[in-house]
Structure 1
Amino acid sequence: MTTSRDSLFSLEGKVALVTGAAGGIGAAIAQALAQAGAQVAVHGNRRPADETALAIGEAAAAFSADLSQSEGAEQLFHAVRARFGRVDLLINNAGMIHRAAAEEFALEDWNRVLQVNLTSVFQLSQFVARDLIAQKAAGKIVNIASLLSFQGGIRVPAYAASKGGVAQLTKALANEWAPHHIQVNAIAPGYIETANTEALRNDETRNRQILERIPAGRWGEPEDIAGTAVFLCSRASDYITGSIIAVDGGWLGR
């Protein structure tokens, strides 16, 4: 008889860190990983992730760190490691967006978006991989990219640059860490109902244009991303690395 521990998709015995897990995509992923058997460290900053941890139960603990500061990633990793002993699965989901015309985009805003969306992704990946390599342990890193990893967007130059960087960083880290049995992949969500897309959904014209382009005919929900995350964290994906998987209702195919 096959047990849950034998399942291709079981995460029993694994410890996951999910950044930006106070709500939206991060919370949905954290809950799905826990349902698959993982213990989950859920991260928040301006919005604490305590509610997510409470919803999951004893398998979760909430952590706070400011990833817009260069020291935030290190503080977060060491806090999670002190609590759980290790990190087997890293979901780099935390992100921010700032909208402004490119010619008026302040350098301060540019630097903050790049730090949160790209530099902290590299920092956390580096901390986790160093630890896994030292222990000769396998692991999984899943970065949250975007449709703007492939497209330029409008009035979001820093976000587009950061998400393009996430896609390339995913490939670069996959190349280096595959021999250590660490797979690095990314999910590129389409238009998902989150706080980051509220402005677009409230714009009647843009909302209509977006829906007309999506073959599925609807905005995605955070739960639409969670299954792909579980797959990429499980042994079912052991031969997949350096991939960016679009979960977009068919947007890129149209």
Structure 2
Amino acid sequence: MIELPKTPSFSLPGKKALVAGASSGIGFACASALAEAGAHVVLGARRVEKLEQIVAAMSEQGWSAEALQLDIADVEATAATVSANGPFDILVNSAGLARHSSAVETSPEDFDAVMEVNLRGAYFLAQAVAKELISNERPGSLITISSQMGHVGGVDRAVYCASKFAVEGFTKAMALEWGSSQIRVNTVCPTFIRTPFTEATFDNPERVKWVEEKIKLGRTGTVEDIMGAVLYLASDASSLVTGTAMMVDGGWTAD
């Protein structure tokens, strides 16, 4: 009698997840994916009113969710919030900021604003969630929504690229440090995804043409393209995956 292997579960019942930047776009989609899979999802963002509307919609589906005001740029407040509401088995950090300009025109103010959220905020949010997991001796999965621009350059995106390259670096280092605690740390790296965050890019026909030529599958992305990747990394299906970047870029970085 041949014993067939069993596919690891993608289900998340009994798990508690924090999704930062959950009020729209990729974060909203990720929160929905985790909640549909059975996790209790805490949706964090600065706009609590929007979060409460999302939570109400999720509740109508029979999903478990709650809203939490969260501004990851405020490192001290974020650490206190995580401590008071954790531990979280899953973190998805989709909070991000972009201020695009040519490198010679980058202002210190724009540089600092992007780094405050994309790098500093992301770093200390991951730290806060990991601290709670370690002190409670619980395993976990920490996922940062990075970008293909954490692996390649982009015109008018020097600051954004710098912030995302840095995210990829600390992800690998944290994965090494926290592996013995069974805390996995990974990134998801999307190509251009149609969200309110990227409207300015998609309003420029020349830029859209350039983007579509770079994506080998010939189309830009939707938030649904990210949901499966995040669910995989959050679940036991990826139990041996850490310190890596999952590219959801249609082949952009394959060159």
Distance in 1, matches of 2:118 and 2:81, equals 15
Distance in 2, matches of 1:76 and 1:241, equals 26
| TM-fit CA distance, 1:7 | 5.4
Structure 1 match to 2:73: 68
Which of 30, 34, 53 is residue 51 of structure 1 equivalent to? 53
Partner-residue secondary structure (3-state), 1:215: coil
| TM-fit CA distance, 1:72 | 4.0
Distance in 2, matches of 1:154 and 1:224, equals 24
Structural mapping, 1:177-196, within 5 Å: 177-196=178-197
User: Is contact 1:22-1:50 (8 Å) kept?
Assistant: no
Structure 1 match to 2:135: 134
Distance in 2, matches of 1:200 and 1:217, equals 17
Partner-residue secondary structure (3-state), 1:71: helix
Q: Letter of the aligned partner of 1:31 in structure 2?
A: S
Structural mapping, 1:105-120, within 5 Å: 105-120=106-121
Structure 1 runs (4+) greater than 3 angstroms displaced:
none
User: Is contact 1:68-1:112 (8 Å) kept?
Assistant: no
| TM-fit CA distance, 1:161 | 0.8
Structure 2 match to 1:25: 26
| TM-fit CA distance, 1:155 | 1.8
Structure 2 match to 1:102: 103
Question: Deviation per CA, 1:79-126, whole angstroms, max 9, x where unpaired?
Answer: 533xxxx21101111001002232232212211111111111111111
Unaligned runs of 5+ in 2: 1-6
Distance in 1, matches of 2:139 and 2:83, equals 19
Deviates more, 1:145-154 or 1:51-60: 51-60
Question: Deviation per CA, 1:199-225, whole angstroms, max 9, x where unpaired?
Answer: 121111111121122222211101110
TM-score, scaled to structure 2: 0.90
Question: Deviation per CA, 1:191-247, whole angstroms, max 9, x where unpaired?
Answer: 110123211211111111211222222111011101110110111111110010100
Structural mapping, 1:121-200, within 5 Å: 121-200=122-201
Q: Letter of the aligned partner of 2:76 in structure 1?
A: E
Partner-residue secondary structure (3-state), 2:200: helix
Distance in 1, matches of 2:254 and 2:17, equals 32
Question: Deviation per CA, 1:1-49, whole angstroms, max 9, x where unpaired?
Answer: xxxxx95111110000001111111011100001111000111115742
The alignment's C-alpha RMSD in Å is 1.7
User: Is contact 2:21-2:44 (8 Å) kept?
Assistant: yes
Structure 1 match to 2:17: 16
